[in-house]
Amino acid sequence: MERIYVFDTTLRDGEQVPGCQLNTIEKIQVAKALELLGVDIIEAGFPISSPGDFNSVVEISKAVTWPVICALTRAVEKDIDVAAEALKFAKRKRIHTGIGTSDSHIKYKFNSNREEIIERAVKAVKHARKYVDDVEFYAEDAGRTENEYLARVVQAVVDAGATVVNIPDTTGYCFPDEYGAKIKYLIDNVDLKNAILSTHCHQDLGMATANTISGIINGARQIEVTVNGIGERAGNTALEEVVMALKSHKDRGFDTNVNTKEIYSTSRLVSSLMNMPVQPNKAIVGRNAFAHSSGIHQDGVLKNVETYEIINPQDVGIDDNSIVLTARSGRAALKNRLNLLGVKLGVEELDSVYQKFLELADKKKSVNDDDILMLVGKESRLHRIKIDYLQVLCGIGVRDVASIGLDISGEHFEASATGNGPVDAAIRAVKNIIRRKMTIKEFLIQAIDRGSDDVGKVHMQVEHKGSVYYGFSANTDIVAASVEAFIDAVNKFTDN
């Protein structure tokens, strides 16, 4: 079997998605889940981009033992110096540096020329090699870079000491045969010495997984992926899709180190911490991925699962007991379920989550994994503004009116308002207390599961002083969830 190295960039390319930002503690939680999953390399951040990113790389380096920790830089000496500093506690470390190589990047982004770009690339790799033995170079927009020139860039950076060369299809433009041919061209025309080529595909045209597989077939030995395919715009290649495609086609001779039984819990953890719901029909980890609904399929599966199932759900860690918690479940059952979902809580946190679980279980017959992760998420948010109470009168033939009590840094405020519907009335009541200019730009309500007792998830974008803030909440009462999401966004205002 040929070993394919899995480079996870959920915490860097994935985390660039607006509204998906994690704090350092949450990033460590994800990094530990990735370690358990068995990824080879964790791209932990872009240290020069912010003190928060720098700190996350430092803390992840301390928290994780086995995977290589990687930090991103531009082909700029200062970036590389800062990345090296952030990686100082990593047991195994890599600097990932690079520059745009397509004609449009060279002309419009850098106002430069091809020769100068090669010089800058070589200089960056040599500088990074002063700090670490493992240097990865990315040729940004390689997907639209002419192959002959790309081969010259790759040769130059390998000669300068790059150990891995990343060939990103940054805009998600390539066709699978075209991307595969690009990898093959480089394998045939560059003396790679001991270096390997890496795929890094984006999903703009829905071809990221196909392009990654095509890259592997043509000689790439590292894949850059994110959990649930999370990433900017349409996202990156989904880790679970490529890993399971290789596992299901063992005859093709490729293998990874991923413990596939950890896929589902990692997917749930990332979805919940990043507030990014997984679409129900998402391959491998979607709620419907293994649900057979047509009579013909059900009949076949009952006779023999092989008729319509190419993957055993248990292979990705989905067990039939995923919806078992009820109001009768004890603290130990909740703790066990949380552990299975990759969440470890201290005694006090567990107590608090358990109380919230009991309240929810009283309202809902069965509490599922998404509900539990939602409760954990609520627990971890510390807010300056809290809701003391919310009372709403609404219905048909009545005027919608809401009264709210808010605790703002320990002081109690009350207000009421009427509105065009219960949510509008409640938000107006909040605005009667918090008198700042704020406009709701986006408001999305989604049921987590099914049934009228379900929890509604609310995502909201609130504009304030030219910036957009993201709020999230979940509650069986969707008016309460909406107000909580609004308050969540307001709590993030930087001028608080």
Q: Note the residues at the interface with Zn ion (CB under 5 A).
A: 13
Specify the residue, 13 or 454, whose C-beta has the smaller distance to Zn ion.
13
**Between residues 14 and 471, which has the closer beta carbon with respect to ligand KIV?**
14
* Residue choice 29, 155, 170, 482 for contact with ligand KIV (CB under 6 A): 170
Residue 173 binds ligand KIV (CB under 6 A): no
State which residue, 150 or 485, has the beta carbon closest to ligand KIV.
150
Q: How far is the CB of 140 from ligand KIV (least distance, A)?
A: 4
Nearer to ligand KIV, 13 or 26 (CB): 13
Question: Which one of Zn ion, ligand KIV, none is in contact with 137 (Cβ closer than 5 to 8 A by kind)?
Answer: none
Closest residue by Cα to residue 200 from 128, 182, 490: 182
Only one of the segments 81-89, 162-170, 425-433, 480-488 lies at the binding site for ligand KIV (rule: CB under 6 A); that segment is 162-170
When asked if residue 92 is in the footprint of ligand KIV (CB under 6 A), the reply is: no
* Residue 200 in the binding site for ligand KIV (CB under 6 A): yes
Q: Is 371 in the site for ligand KIV (CB under 6 A)?
A: no
Nearer to ligand KIV, 138 or 179 (CB): 138
Q: Which residue of this chain has its Cβ atom nearest to Zn ion in the complex?
A: 13
Q: Whole-angstrom Cα distance, residue 34 to residue 228?
A: 13
The reply to whether 27 sits near ligand KIV by the rule CB under 6 A is: no
Q: Which does 138 bind (CB under 5 to 8 A by kind): Zn ion, ligand KIV, none?
A: ligand KIV
Stretch that binds ligand KIV, among 84-92, 165-173, 184-192, 289-297 (CB under 6 A): 165-173
Interaction between residue 13 and ligand KIV (CB under 6 A): yes
**In the complex, what is the shortest distance from the CB of residue 449 to Zn ion, in angstroms, rounded to a whole number?**
32
Q: How far is the CB of 173 from Zn ion (least distance, A)?
A: 13
Residues 385-414 that bind ligand KIV (CB under 6 A): none
Q: Which is nearer to ligand KIV, 166 or 368 (CB)?
A: 166
Which of the listed partners (Zn ion, ligand KIV, none) does 143 bind, with a CB threshold of 5 to 8 Å by partner kind? Answer: none
* Closest to ligand KIV by CB, 16 or 23: 16
* Residue 218 C-beta: closest distance to Zn ion, Å: 20
SS (H, E, C) the chain: CEECEEEECCCCCHHHCCCCCCCHHHHHHHHHHHHHHCCCEEEEECHHHCHHHHHHHHHHHHHCCCCEEEEECCCCHHHHHHHHHHCCCCCCEEEEEEEECCHHHHHHHCCCCHHHHHHHHHHHHHHHHCCCCCEEEEEECHHHCCHHHHHHHHHHHHHHCCCEEEEEECCCCCCHHHHHHHHHHHHHHCCCCCCEEEEEEECCCCCHHHHHHHHHHCCCCEEEEEHHHCCCCCCECEHHHHHHHHHHCHHHCEECCCCHHHHHHHHHHHHHHCCCCCCCCCCCCCCCCCCCCCHHHHHHHHHCHHHCCCCCHHHHCCCCCCCCECCCCCHHHHHHHHHHCCCCCCHHHHHHHHHHHHHHHHHCCCECHHHHHHHHHHHHCCCCEEEEEEEEECCCCCCCEEEEEEEECCEEEEEEEECCCHHHHHHHHHHHHCCCCCEEEEEEEEECCCCCCCCEEEEEEEEECCEEEEEEEEECCHHHHHHHHHHHHHHCCCCC
Of the pair 70, 318, the CB lying nearest ligand KIV is at 70
Query: If binding is defined by CB under 6 A, does position 140 make contact with ligand KIV?
Result: yes
Q: Is 7 in the site for ligand KIV (CB under 6 A)?
A: no
264 binds, among ligand KIV, Zn ion, none (CB under 5 to 8 A by kind): none
Using CA atoms, how far apart are residues 3 and 258, in angstroms rounded to an integer? 11
Q: Which of 5, 137, 138, 254 binds ligand KIV (CB under 6 A)?
A: 138
CA–CA separation, 431 and 417 (whole Å): 9
**Identity at 157, one-letter amino acid code:** V
Query: Cβ closer to Zn ion: 46 or 470?
Result: 46
Q: Whole-number minimum distance, CB 27 to ligand KIV, in Å? A: 18
Residues contributing to the site for ligand KIV (CB under 6 A):
13, 138, 140, 166, 168, 170, 200, 202
